[in-house]
Structure 1
Amino acid sequence: MNQIILWSLLILPYASLFLLNMDTVRRYMPVALFMTAIHTLAYQAAYHYGWWNEADSSLFGWDKVVPVPWVYGAYLVIVIWVFHFTFRKFWLYLTVNILLGVLFMYIVYPIWQRIGIVSSESTLPTIAIVAMMVGFSLIIYLYQLWQGEVFKKANTNS
C-alpha cells in the first residue's frame, strides 16, 4: 500500500498541471525546480546532521536521503500551483505557505508516520521544520521576483 501512495505522490500531481495554461507552467517551473534544489540540499543536511530520517519513503533504493516522490513530485507541483494563485500578492502567498507548512507538519506528516511512509525519528522540533519551510518559501518568492525581472528585460531587448 505504501508503494502505491509513494508512486501516486510522484506521478499524479503532474496530471494536475494539464489544468493550467502551459505558459503558467513554464513561468513557474524554474522556481519549482529551484525549490527542489533547495529541498534536496536541506534533506542532505538533515541526513548528515541527523535531523530526520526519510529512508522509509524510498521508491528506488538509491533515494534513501531525499524522498523522490515528495520532493520531485508532489512538492514541485504544489509550488507551481501556489505561485499560480498567489504570486504578486505577498501576504496571501506568505499566509498560504504558513498554513500549508502547519497542515503538512501537524496533520499530514503524523498520518504518514502512522502508516509507515516516513519515520518518526526527528531531532528538530516540528515548529523548527515549519519555520524552515516558510524560510524556503520566502527565498523562492524573491527568486521568482528576480526571475520575472530577468524575463521582462530579455523580452524588451528582443
Structure 2
Amino acid sequence: MVKVVSWSIFIIPWISLIFLDRSAIRRYMPVALFATVLNTILAQMAWSYNWWKFKETLLSWDKIAPLFTVYGIFLVGTIWIFYFTFRKFWIYIIVNLIIDLFYGMGLTKMLNKLEIRESGSFSPLNNLLTMTILAVILYFYQLWQEDIYDKEKVK
C-alpha cells in the first residue's frame, strides 16, 4: 500500500501533463525546475534540523529529498499552478495557500499515518509560511523568465 501511494504521488502528476499544451510545459518548466531546486534545499535542511523525515521512499537513495514529492507532485504541480494563475498574482497566492494548506493539513497527515513520513519540529504554520515565501520567490522568478520567453518568441 505504501509503495502504491508513493508511486501514485509521483506518476499521476507526470501523466497529467499529457492534457497540457507543449508550449505551456516549455514556458513553465524553468520555474518548476527552480522550485525543485528550492524544495531539494528545503528537504536537506529539514533532514539536518529534524523538521520532518521520510521513512519510506521510492528508492533507497531518495530519503532526504523524496522523488515522489519533490520531483513528482511539487514539480508538476508548479507547472499547473502557473498555467492557471500566472499574471493574476492574488489568485496565484490564494491558490498556493489553499494547496499548501491541503498539503500541510491533509497530505502530510496521511503520509504520517501510513508511516511514509514523520513529523519533526516543523509546525504546519511554519510550513505554510515557508511555502508562501517560496511561492512569492517563484512568481518573481517567472516574471523574470517571461522576458526571456518573450524575446525568444520575437526571434
The bucket for the TM-score relative to the shorter chain is over 0.9
Give the match for residue 61 of structure 2.
62
Partner of 2:29: 29
**What 5-or-longer segments of structure 2 have no aligned partner?**
none
Whole-angstrom distance in 2 between the partners of 1:44 and 1:125:
17
**Separation of aligned partners in 2, 1:50 and 1:73:** 22
Amino acid at match of 1:34: F
Shift of 1:72: 0.3
- Return the TM-score normalized by structure 1: 0.93
Shift of 1:125: 1.7
Report how many aligned residue pairs link the two structures.
155
Q: Which residue does the alignment assign to 2:144?
A: 146
1:41 aligns with 2:12: no
Tell me the equivalent position of 2:130. Answer: 132
Q: State the Cα RMSD in Å.
A: 1.1
Letter of the 2:42 counterpart: A
Distance apart, 1:30 and its partner CA: 0.7
Q: Percent identity?
A: 37
Q: How many angstroms apart in 1 are the aligned matches of 2:52 and 2:73?
A: 20
* Cα distance in structure 1, aligned partners of 2:31 and 2:77: 11
Secondary structure in 2 matching 1:64: coil
User: 1:42, CA displacement in angstroms?
Assistant: 0.5
* Residues 40 and 65 in structure 2, CA contact (< 8 A), matched pair in contact too: yes
Q: So what's the TM-score if we normalise by structure 2?
A: 0.95
Structure 1 segments of 4 or more deviating over 6 A? none
Contact 2:52/2:117, CA 8 A, preserved across alignment? no
Q: Which runs of 5+ in 1 are unaligned?
A: none
